[in-house]
Amino acid sequence: MSNPSLLILPGDGIGPEVMAEVRKVIDWYGAKRDLAFDVSEDLVGGAAYDAHGTPLHDDTMAKAQEVDAVLLGAVGGPKYDVLDFSVKPERGLLRLRKEMDLYANLRPAQCFDALADFSSLKKDVVAGLDIMIVRELTSGIYFGEPRGIIEEGNERVGINTQRYTESEIDRVARSAFELAMKRDKKLCSMEKANVMESGVLWREVVTEVGKDYPEVELSHMYADAGAMQLCRWPKQFDVIVTDNLFGDLLSDAAAMLTGSLGMLPSASLGAPMANGRPKALYEPVHGSAPDIAGQGKANPIACILSFAMALRYSFDLGDEATRLEQAVEKVLADGARTADLLGEEGVDPVSTSQMGDAIVAALDASL
Ligand code: NAI
Ligand code: MG
């Protein structure tokens, strides 16, 4: 069997800096766990524009469609603000998401005990928190027709349409059930079936899909109640699946339960490929952070945890993903902090590469 393939797109700003630390982790798995990946690297965003005059070359797009998983750093930066909209760095990322048809956006909210003080919630509410929000990404109110601003009588009316087909709900529900099977086998679906027909259909279809996953304990919650429960006692959840709009709000809120932008990974998954693996793009939630780029200050953990997600959700290496997450946990517990994680006074921050080295050392110690 050939090695699993990985396309790395470091991008702009701190993207290449944090990706260099991920490369250390990938190399460690090859050397110490006999898990070799066929890694190729290419350009995206401003870096691709500088080289090719386009934020994503067709060859790179084709490559992304072939590999088992894509790992992206970040795109954008002030240098590219003057560019025409059609070639802005962000267009490269949008093209990847669109052409790979990545309809399930996975946003974990995970709290490492050592950072529980960072949360706006009480420590015991968030310590050890590990939940996953699956947001439908390619349909719903951000895309539904009719839309626009029209004249009606003597005033204007703003219109957006929430619209979901059964197949759109079915496929994102399946992604969520598959994830739940790899986690704690608990799924909560959130909509507003009390006031929205699209929510009624959502609940019906999710319930129907659930019959294919009898091991997963399925529950339903109105999204507003879900927002309250997320703040009150988030640990009651394992996987949450919801639509594009509610997921946008709930995933941002849940992510911030746990602290810094430099800690947050994400994944976007699409349909299963011939080998059974879903199309997949893994990336940190943060951007290219031009304010700290090139200074060795960036926190590489969000990008490293994105690779951990790839291990778990693309490569079925859940144990190795846990090993990597525990290495991160250990390094934080030992007190290593990049500048963005500094709360206490009198602690010297570690650099991007020192953080990466410490995580690799913790991986070594795990053997
Ligand atoms: P940003 O996420 O790049 O930075 C926001 C703040 O968080 C900055 O102060 C930054 O220094 C800090 N920060 C972010 N990641 C960090 C890390 N790993 N370690 C330490 N500190 C970190 O968002 P911003 O400033 O709004 O956007 C900067 C550029 O990034 C823009 O061109 C924007 O379009 C682009 N962007 C790209 C995204 C992507 O590639 N997925 C997502 C968000 C923004
Ligand atoms: Mg958002």
DSSP, residue by residue, 75-143:
---GGGTTS-GGG-HHHHHHHHHHHTT--EEEEEEE--GGGGGGSSS-HHHHTT-EEEEEEE-SSGGGT
**Band of pLDDT at residue 307, cut at 50, 70 and 90:** very high
Global pTM value: 0.93
Best residue among 81, 90, 286 to mutate for probing ligand 1's pocket (most ligand atoms within 8 Å of CB) is 286
Task: Return the pLDDT at 344.
Answer: 62
Mean pLDDT of 261-288: 94
Distance 291 CA to ligand 1 centre (A): 9
Residues at the binding site for NAD(+) are 77-90, 287-299
Mean pLDDT of 350-360: 98
**Band of pLDDT at residue 345, cut at 50, 70 and 90:** low
Query: What is the percent of the chain where pLDDT is above 90?
Result: 88
For the record, the structure tokens of 68 come out as 């088992």
Task: Return the pLDDT at 206.
Answer: 98
Query: What is the percent of the chain where pLDDT is above 70?
Result: 98
Nearest Cα residue to 179 out of 236, 131, 226: 131
Distance 287 CA to ligand 1 centre (A): 3
What is the spatial distance between Cα 116 and Cα 168, in angstroms, rounded to a whole number?
Answer: 37
Q: Which ligand is nearest to the CA of 284?
A: 1
Q: Which ligand is nearest to the CA of 251?
A: 2
Alpha-carbon dihedral sign for residues 9, 257, 105, 83: negative
Amino acid in the structure at residue 205: V
Rounded-to-10 torsion of CA 225, 260, 13, 49? -10
**Band of pLDDT at residue 260, cut at 50, 70 and 90:** confident
Over 80: is that where the pLDDT of 232 sits?
yes
Mean pLDDT of 250-261: 84
Over 70: is that where the pLDDT of 330 sits?
yes
For the record, the structure tokens of 221 come out as 């919650």
**Band of pLDDT at residue 225, cut at 50, 70 and 90:** very high
Over 80: is that where the pLDDT of 52 sits?
yes
Query: Can you name the residues that pair with 222 across neighbouring β-strands?
Result: 191
Is the beta carbon of 74 within 6 A of some atom in ligand 1? yes
Over 90: is that where the pLDDT of 256 sits?
no
Is the beta carbon of 20 within 6 A of some atom in ligand 1? no
Rounded-to-10 torsion of CA 67, 306, 27, 59? 30
Over 80: is that where the pLDDT of 259 sits?
no
Task: Return the pLDDT at 266.
Answer: 96
User: So what's the ipTM on this one?
Assistant: 0.97
Mean pLDDT of 237-254: 94
Mean pLDDT of 34-56: 97
**Band of pLDDT at residue 252, cut at 50, 70 and 90:** confident
Residues at the binding site for Mg(2+) are 224, 248, 252
Instruction: Please provide residue 280's backbone torsions phi and psi, each rounded to the nearest 5 degrees.
Output: -150, 135
Mean pLDDT of 191-207: 98
Q: Which helix (H) or strand (E) holds 144?
A: strand 144-152
Q: Which helix (H) or strand (E) holds 155?
A: strand 155-161
Over 80: is that where the pLDDT of 343 sits?
no
Q: What is the mean pLDDT of the chain?
A: 95
Closest C-alpha residue for ligand 1 atom 37: 287
Set out the domains of the chain in order of their start, with CATH numbers.
Answer: 1-113+261-367 (3.40.718.10), 130-256 (3.40.718.10)
Instruction: Report pLDDT digits (tens) over 135-185.
Output: 999 999 999 999 999 999 999 999 999 999 999 999 999 999 999 999 999
Catalytic residues: 142, 192, 224, 248, 252
Residues in CB range of 275: below 8 A, 6 or more apart: 68
